[in-house]
Amino acid sequence: MKRPFEEIVEENADWLFRYVRSKTADRETAEDLAQEVWLRAFRAYDTYEERGMLRHWLARIASNTVRNALYGRPEIVVFSLDAAQDDADPLLDALPDMEAADPLDEVERREMVDEILSAIDALPEKYRQVMTFRFLMDLPVDEVARRMNIPAGSVKSSTHYAIERIRRDLGIPKKAKGDKIMTCENAKNYLFMYAKGKLSPERRAEVAEHLASCPHCREIEESLEELIPHIEFKREAPVSHFLLNFEGETVSYSGVASTWEPSFLDDFDEINRILADNGGKIPESELTIGIGGHGKSVKLNAVFINEGEECGFEVCAEDEFHEYEKMTSCPRVYPYFEQYFSYTGNLPKAGEERNDLGCDGYTALYRAVPKSRGVPKVKQGNGVILTEKGSYNYVFAARYVGMDETCVLRYEFE
């Protein structure tokens, strides 16, 4: 017996909208098309046979709806990259599964799509035109050849060149069909935990493959390896915290740790039971694990806990200047709970770093400075950490602070 159609809509509305949104130029168009998809699915639901393929059935309706809209309304941009009509080398096969249940993969996919679209825009005119026809309008090789008045072989060779250039520009290593690809922006989310030696084996292998083909990220990772032994949480402090920014990069890392103090449960073993019973997902009715807040000048990209376990998260509140997140998934919690964060955004002004912890505790500020600028001189703070490997040295300030105190780091170059 098939379930009521209303249940189907409720369970699948989020991922289906993201699917349509990834293929269209604007949100309003995506909302209209998503409504059209559900209308078509409702009309066809009587003929659907329940064989565990519901998502594939809905995705096929969505794909056909978007494709039909393209030919009826040329202003709609469709993102494909799957090269389904011929033997072109696909990039989309390497992206995370569009229907993946893991929200982290969905975020990674959307970011990857944006990066590839920007790379297409940066191509020379000839190759940009080929990629637009092939992968934005989803036209077969023969149709592209006809429109551009060039041989089909030229379309294929131009496609191959353009894809290889996109791989190079985005730092994407050549990988087997079906594998995920990791760009520099993706990899930087994991470099701190990779250097710390606390990623899952699968994620570590992905990062290692990227580092093997990207000298720039490898330089950052090697510098981190030398810094990390200097970073430590102070267990005697109520809260222990660190913040690390890089000059010349938009990536930053931070961490916070404290003894686990459940607000309404007896002990962390009970919390772990709840997490285990829900497959790591956090039921809002039983548990909330907050992440904290940060300025809106940065974007939170990834969250990890003690042993490098990756966690899901979402924005739960915001004001004019700050954004606050909570975890949506977490494999387990520990008596001494560590959280590590990866951000991208605007770097504080050169020569200065400051942090208001907002509570009694210990905080450490680190700034990675390029070795090419020479050895920095600390004007306010603790000192300089010189590294042998990598392209960065570090300046830092670390101290115990009260609720209303600010930790400040200032430095200059002679």
- Give the long-range contacts of residues 167-173, CB within 8 A, separation 24 or more: 167/91, 169/119, 169/122, 170/115, 170/116, 170/119, 171/210, 171/213, 171/214, 171/216, 171/217, 172/91, 172/94, 173/209, 173/210, 173/212, 173/213, 173/214
3-state secondary structure of 353: strand
Separation CA 53–CA 65 (nearest Å): 18
Q: Are 244 and 254 in contact (CB under 8 A)?
A: yes
Separation CA 128–CA 135 (nearest Å): 10
Closest alpha carbon to 337 in 347, 346, 327: 327
Q: Look up the pTM and report it.
A: 0.59
pLDDT score, position 381: 93
Give the torsion through C-alpha atoms of 167, 168, 174, 180, to 10 deg.
Answer: -50
Number of other CB atoms surrounding residue 273 within 10 Å: 12
Residue 105 vs residues 98, 385, 390: alpha-carbon distances, Å: 8, 36, 30
Tokens 């470099």 belong to residue: 191
Rg over CA atoms, the chain: 24
Distance, C-alpha 4 to centroid of its chain: 35
Paired strand residues for 340: 255, 304
Separation CA 209–CA 215 (nearest Å): 12
pLDDT score, position 128: 82
Tokens 């607000």 belong to residue: 263
Separation CA 413–CA 51 (nearest Å): 67
pLDDT score, position 265: 46
pLDDT score, position 71: 47
Q: What is the pLDDT along the chain (414 residues), one digit of tens a residue?
A: 678 888 889 888 887 887 777 666 667 888 888 898 898 888 888 777 666 667 767 877 887 777 667 544 433 344 444 444 444 444 544 444 444 444 445 455 556 666 777 777 788 888 888 887 776 666 778 888 888 888 887 888 788 778 777 777 776 655 544 455 577 888 999 999 999 999 888 888 888 888 887 888 888 999 999 999 999 999 999 999 999 999 888 889 999 998 866 554 456 788 888 888 888 888 877 778 888 777 778 889 999 999 999 999 888 888 878 888 888 898 888 889 999 999 988 777 778 888 888 889 999 999 999 988 889 999 999 999 999 888 899 999 999 999 889 999 999 987
Structure tokens at 195: 């250097």
Number of other CB atoms surrounding residue 348 within 10 Å: 17
Tokens 């600390």 belong to residue: 378
Separation CA 273–CA 118 (nearest Å): 45
Closest alpha carbon to 292 in 274, 273, 318: 318
pLDDT score, position 380: 94
pLDDT score, position 78: 40
* Domains, the chain, with CATH or none: 5-72 (1.10.1740.10), 92-170 (1.10.10.10), 233-413 (2.60.40)
